[in-house]
Structure 1
Amino acid sequence: LGLGGPFLWVAGRAIDVMLAIGKFVSDLPGAVQTVASAPDVALPIAFLGVLFLCLWQGKGRWLGLPFAAAVLIWPRAPVPDVWIGDGGTTAAYVQDQDAIILRPGVRTFASDVWSRRRGLRSLPRETIGWTCDRFSCVPDGDRSPIALWWGRRAPTQDQLSTLCSRAQIVSVRAIITTLPSSCSGRLVLDGTDHAQGGAVELWKTETGWRAIWTSDVRGTRPWSKASPGSMNQTQ
């Protein structure tokens, strides 16, 4: 009979108002705060703390409160200085609390997941201060610690020399057989490293760079390549 029409119209307008309020609040400064992920061990500890709070009787139950908040209060690991995506096709470096993406729009899911896990805001690199073409992206000056070559073909010796002269870390998607003298003292990762290790996080240390590869974290599985034993080393 259509008697419910007016009520449905009112319900629809109420939903529109709720959506408008939600959009207004989400657009406010500081409405969204990215927090770095806690270590894996914090989650089961928090679960046991919540369980203790819910099941225990009396005031002693509040002893479980610090454990229930483990995910929030657990100290976070230091943020890496550089991240290189699986296969060496994209990369990012950390500047303040921002993850500067070298190739915006390429494998954005991986870069977004990594930046959120580390509590960083993902931003595209600036167009000024970079020399980029179809196969590579090289910083001008000391703007970035990494230069990226994502072309399937290996760079020439002159191109590789340019990459090494502009950055402390050089990531090349292809396999490199020889390095020019300008790459001495540089950390050069090529297709062999990426094929064995996957994505990698790099921390600057006093003696070089410390690396943690995806293969170091996931371990050896039947559907993944074996983890190289020497990749989680300071270089």
Structure 2
Amino acid sequence: MKKLHIILTALNIVSIILLFQIIFGLIPSFECDYPVDKIDKINSLIVDLSIGVITSTFFYYILVYIPEKRKEKVIRSIISNDLLYIANNMQMVLAYVAKTYSLEVKDKYYQKIPLTEFSKIKKGVHIKFETTCSFNVEITPSILAENSHYISTDVKSLNYTAKNILERIKNINDIPNIIFEDEVLISALDKISRCSFYTNTYFMDKESKDLFGNDYERLSLIFNFHSIRELHSLYVTLTKYITPYVFSISKN
């Protein structure tokens, strides 16, 4: 869509320049050896094409682009709660990881964690922080609610949250013609539903506990360098469509 706008803008600029040159004579033209009648025909053709480009662009924006943007806003308002739920839970995981592995966080939304910071996440036994992590949440710049959210860091609870996220994504996908409304967003949600963090969470929950000495051996397979880096990348993509709350782990 962005490329289309660039092409239309370029065509309209060229068309306007040609119209000013031929009709108004405000822009100097070049001389040629063609007969006058042939030059007139060429100029007439250029004028017709230029007017056609400008007119077509005008009606495209009036009849297609503006209505589509309105529909997009309506759909975005319908799915905003689901997107907010997904983004909030993804951010809580990233906040937990940032605290647990002492990652350097560049901003309060955890969007600008340097890639080198993810190398601190080792494949060894997962570092135990708390079974349940409480979060302070900044809903607006002036409102800070203490311990209003929490995340349980056992595999079963993580899998429960993952299922809820997948259900929210399914709800969005079930909206008629949603794929044609915002293909980039739907593609991002599809990648989230198939990302390794949630896939690993599901399989670790299903595996027999006899295969692991303790739950933190499972968590070390879920909270690994590749899965967290992928989760962070998808989270950053999602924040282009929704602004999540601001989460930080409570010190209490």
Name the one with the larger helix percent: 2
Name the one with the larger strand percent: 1
Larger Rg: 2
Q: Compute the TM-score of the two structures, normalised by the length of structure 2.
A: 0.21
